[in-house]
């Protein structure tokens, strides 16, 4: 269990992580037209929320690290759902929800679900770009670059990198290590 002094420390760390996530969203928006900034920010917030929600799928750490990690990820996910994080991007978050970008049980365990989310996020940003006048639209592959960068940034900021996530999914819990075939 997390005591009050640890809770204060974790809340401060979660607030700092959310600020870092918002800075990452701003950074990934810099080369796109300003009209696309809220959409990019929405993708960043939704992805960060989903990554933070992976806490249920990570292999347990020894105590007390497991309790601290879980509490931190819960605090990050909760902060990303607050008005402070979503103000000005509610419409875009609703559009993402309509595209079924909510975290699913398979998000952290199933590479296909992650790929599907990435493809949907790219499509969402491309739709937003298509609404701009032709002379203001970014190059054809800008959305792919932005989403790939957001994915890498968020995972690094929250502390769940691709190799770690794949390793966790493969060797944790009810998932068994594939048996090697006899040579």
Dihedral of CA atoms 23, 29, 30, 33 in degrees, nearest 10, equals -150
The closest of 48, 156, 160, 152 to 103, measured between CA atoms, is 48
Q: Supply φ then ψ for residue 58, to 5 degrees.
A: -85, 145
Q: Supply φ then ψ for residue 2, to 5 degrees.
A: -95, 125
Q: d(Cα 85, Cα 79) in Å, to the nearest integer?
A: 7
Q: d(Cα 107, Cα 117) in Å, to the nearest integer?
A: 9
**C-alpha 77 chain-centroid distance:** 10
pLDDT along the chain (183 residues), means of 10: 78 91 89 92 87 66 80 88 92 84 51 75 93 91 89 78 52 47 49
- Residue spans per domain, the chain: 4-171
- Could you give the C-alpha distances from 87 to 18, 23, 123, in angstroms and in order? 14, 15, 23
Q: So what's the pLDDT on residue 120?
A: 85
pTM beyond 0.95: no
The closest of 84, 43, 74, 40 to 158, measured between CA atoms, is 74
Q: So what's the pLDDT on residue 64?
A: 80
Q: Which two tokens stand for residue 111?
A: 């590479």
Neighbours of 55 (CB within 10 A): 19
């Amino acid at each position: 269990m997390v005591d009050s002094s640890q809770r204060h420390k974790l809340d401060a760390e979660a607030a700092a992580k959310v600020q870092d996530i918002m800075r990452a969203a701003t950074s990934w928006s810099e080369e796109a037209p300003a009209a696309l900034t809220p959409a990019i920010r929405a993708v960043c917030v939704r992805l960060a929320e989903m990554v933070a929600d992976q806490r249920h799928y990570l292999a347990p750490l020894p105590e007390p690290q497991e309790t601290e990690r879980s509490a931190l990820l819960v605090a990050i996910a909760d902060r990303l759902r607050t008005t402070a994080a979503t103000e000005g991007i509610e419409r875009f978050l609703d559009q993402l929800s309509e595209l079924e970008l909510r975290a699913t049980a398979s998000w952290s365990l199933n590479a296909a679900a992650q790929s599907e989310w990435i493809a949907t996020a790219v499509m969402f940003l491309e739709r937003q770009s298509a609404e701009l006048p032709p002379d203001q639209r970014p190059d054809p592959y800008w959305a792919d670059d932005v989403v790939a960068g957001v994915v890498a940034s968020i995972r690094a900021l929250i502390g769940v990198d691709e190799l770690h996530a794949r390793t966790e999914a493969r060797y944790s819990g009810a998932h068994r290590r594939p048996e090697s075939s006899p040579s």
